[in-house]
A = this chain, B = another copy of it.
Amino acid sequence: MTNSVESRTSDRKPGTRRRADGEQSRRAILRAAAELASVEGLEGLSIAALADRVGLSKSGLYAHFGSKEELQLQTIEAAREVFAEEVVRPALAEPPGLPRLRALAHRFLEHVERGTFPGGCFFASVGAEVDSRPGPLRDRIAAIHRDWSGQFERCLVEAQASRDLESRADPRQVAFEVMAMLAGAHQSFLLQGDRTALERAKAGIEVVLESHSARR
């Protein structure tokens, strides 16, 4: 046994404690940071407030992250992982083309309705904050938004291959129209508390798909 102390510890309490706790604590901090930032913004995310929320001291957070910008960047990555797990990955289980596109959109709307982040979609909220402030935060959010957009475009190219979308349709244009419905729903749901906006978005997506359909 090379690691008698930890082994001994795990004889009493299961699991290798020390490193796991560091990683687990880091994840818990970033999860709380993403929730806070979805409401207060990445700038409004204060280190003292976050430290308080997770039961650490400010310098405890600096031990983990070093600077506010580093914390902000890692918070973005943590939010991206939550979003991937809750929206993108399940949708990728659906067949390519329109079924997958609908799954992406519907999962997004459920993600917003569920309130995984109290400020709505982390990227919609934080995107609006950083969109006119050049810098690494904006660059990262913009890249993630492009990836998200690419998911829809790929589905639409596949839908053309399977003759579910007319061949003269522009996948980028149709992707824009579908994603616009999601943006509109997010706005009305959060600002007006209007749950029907989520259903309106689904209906709007069908209008868009129908109008570009090869089978009309």
The interface of chain A, by Cβ under 8 A from chain B, is 38-39, 41, 43-44, 118-120, 124-125, 127-129, 131-133, 138, 141-142, 145-146, 172-173, 176-177, 179-181, 183-188, 190-192, 197, 200-201, 203-204, 207-208, 210-212
Q: Given contacts A128-B128, A183-B187, A184-B184, could you give 9 more A-B pairs where the C-beta distance is less than 8 Å?
A: A120-B131, A127-B187, A128-B187, A131-B191, A132-B190, A172-B200, A173-B204, A176-B201, A208-B208
How far does the Cβ of A194 sit from chain B's closest Cβ, in whole Å? 9
The 19 sampled A-B contact pairs (Cβ below 8 Å) are A38-B132, A39-B133, A44-B44, A120-B131, A128-B129, A129-B129, A131-B191, A132-B190, A142-B191, A173-B204, A176-B200, A176-B204, A177-B181, A177-B204, A180-B180, A180-B181, A180-B183, A183-B183, A204-B208
